Chain A
Amino acid sequence: MSWLLSFPILIPFAAAVIAFLLKDGPGGRWASVIGSAAMLIASMALMTNVLSEGVVAGQMGGWPAPFGITLVADYLSAVMVVITAITALAVSIYAMADVNARIASLGYHALFQVLIAGVAGAFLTGDLFNLYVWFEVMLIASFGLLVMGGSKEQIDGGVKYVALNLVSTILFLTGIGLLYGMTGTLNMADLARTVPLIENQALVTVIAVMFMVAFGVKAAVFPLFFWLPAAYHTPAFSTSAIFAGLLTKVGVYALMRMFTLIFVGDIAFTHEILLWVACFTMVTGVLGAAAQNDFRKILSFHIVSQIGYMILGLALMTPLAILGAVFYLVHHIIVKANLFLVAGVAARIAGSTELKRIGGLYAHAPLLAFLFLIPAFSLAGFPPLSGFWAKFLLVKAALEDGHGFVAFIALAVGAFTIFSMTKIWAEAFWTPHPDNVEPKLNRLEKRMFWPLILPIAGLAVLTCFIGLFPEPFVQFAEGATAQLLDPTAYIDAVLGGAE
């Protein structure tokens, strides 16, 4: 049982070791791809197990909870691990062509796998301090990936990324210490039981806000998001894509976990803050995007704006809203990673990511244009793509809960999203190239074509699939929501099943 839970973490670590040993040859990138594929299989096996048994928990090292470290997978954790593996597979294939030999020999593929292991660990752990350790694993790997190559932009963006993330880490650590001082446990299921028994609930709320700020920095919510648009447009495209897909979402996941499982004592206060944070995040992100003129910078600001939608679902805390947030989380990872991958191909054949300096992609690379349209429309929320259902669920939840104003903001932000997607479309795809270059796809080297296009096409197919057949996904998200709002099964699986 516990092996099934630890495989999605162990496989990327093993792949990282192999990739590091083979970093000077083609073996490194193959190790990364094979590791991601193996992780996908392992996470699917875990998912099957979770689907048949509800919540799966395992105690590491044989120490019973709450003393040992628990790994636990409910519906939400399981789906996040699967989606992590899918994104990792897509991006590691893309990285085969995108990452040049110099960067690869610095150990790019090894760090990439360490990052994936950190993300998977953060999704699967049931222990607060262990979550901190996974955050650190993720953080140090992301630092390396971000500045690898060492261009001026990367160093500049890296400084801001590192500085703000370290501050958030320390806040997180302090929060853990104080919470432990009050409850004497670090096991998340045990905390869910003991935190409501604390006499001084005001102090719990203070700690809750501390966690909110710490995870808020990771998730890049207003007003803590400034590191993200400063850094995400600087590294290699595959790095941007995996960061955009996964890293902020770990913050969102941690917020969802903590504020449905542990900090539910003063919902009127904490979730009201989250609601306003969500609105401001949506609006500032989309306005920031409207002011940008670079492919990746626009996409970076859109991450911020989209995070707002997920936080909105959490803030409303009704079954439908959480359902929407879970659905949004899954949809967003696929779509956002894909858009960054498209940006990479566009920059490769047209010469830049600055929209003023590229053009003509629609006339000369219609396939790429088509592959851009799917995630772009999905992001903006066009039916029948996945983003439509995600937004539809959230807006409906906001209206049902009597938050008409919030629903209006969510819809307006959607409209602005279309505006900046149109900007990319018009400047990069429609207008002719300013230097009269013909950005055809066959400008790519032959050996690069499939590794670059295949992951984009695969993720686009997945987006369409979720959009056309949302029923099973919504049902699954319903299950995840039920588990989040009534954590009895989670707590029993962790504490009851411990021998």
Chain B
Amino acid sequence: MLKHLLASAISLGLCTTALADTLQVPLIWLRHAEAERPVLSNLDPIPEDRGQAGAELGLSDNLTTGKFLGQDYSLEVIEIPPEADPLPDARAALARSPYMVLDAPAETLLAIADLPEAQGAMLFNAAASDMALRGENCRANLLHTKTSYAMQTDALMQFARAKRWEDLVLITGNAPEDAAYAAALTASAAKFGLTIAETKPWIFDADMRRNAAQEVPLFTQDLADHDLLLIADVANDFARYIAYNTWTPRPIAGSEGLRPVSWAPVVEQWGAAQLHSRFQDLAGRDMTPRDYAAWAAVRAVGEAVTRTQSADPTTIRDYLLSDNFELAGFKGRPLSFRTWNGQMRQPIPLVTRAALVAQAPLEGFLHQRTELDTLGLDAPESPCTAFQ
């Protein structure tokens, strides 16, 4: 059931010269799979190695740098099926390395972060966008390279504000993450002075691949007047069938249409094309937001090890949370970590399936520290106390 893989420097053909002086930096990639929700469309299958391939690219980037500096990185891959208990494997893995990149639901993240073996370790959340993980349930040993829902929805609302699309309506799916995303959309709308006039739950269990043209016009006919139609459907079960079938012709945004994402193949500027091409060579597919989050976590450790010449987790944590840390993340601005909740601050591209439309923070949204902190939970509103 468990798949343990060891990708070491040697297996990648990058031998370091002086092994005696080499700084060894083992990393763990641990995935506690979530049961996948059935969705209507088969067009966007979830890649088997989602996230993991990003971690592997980060490893390869670290190894190239490391070979010039006498640093050797390795990545151990641990896969745990949804029904299995992840804690025994996590415990054992933490004995082998203090650096663990996690692709797991919020409950698993918290359970691992609370293990006695995890105290003093550096865990990275590369999958979950839940707000509570950055708020009341934050943990001092858990940093987040995945963007939070609020970062994503703040980006979208900055765009709506800049466009003066002030009247909004929202269609929400029925999954718990849809409710979380809808709550973030609602909070972001309020933050930027916009109103969601109406929220309407999606009610159909029919196959929209055949029925969208009949059902969606009627479903949207009685919506309040709006400039922009928001859709909270994180798994994109029905959102893709809304466009062009609405009663009134309005742009759509959120889970379909204009999407705020942490990464997408349409991001081409800022050297992003090179990252895409390296990822394509490695994985043979497009790089997803979770791949990006995993890549950023592994690279953050690599960058901190390079700058501090240390593999000690306390030294690395201090450096990651200091003003000195910056990661070149191919989004035009250096990425860094928020000291109040461990969230990696980063620009949010607003994309369609074919192009980058804009990138938040948008011009004109100011902040006394950095404009990147106009996205997501800012220090004064953060209920997280673990980092104090």
State whether these chains interact: no
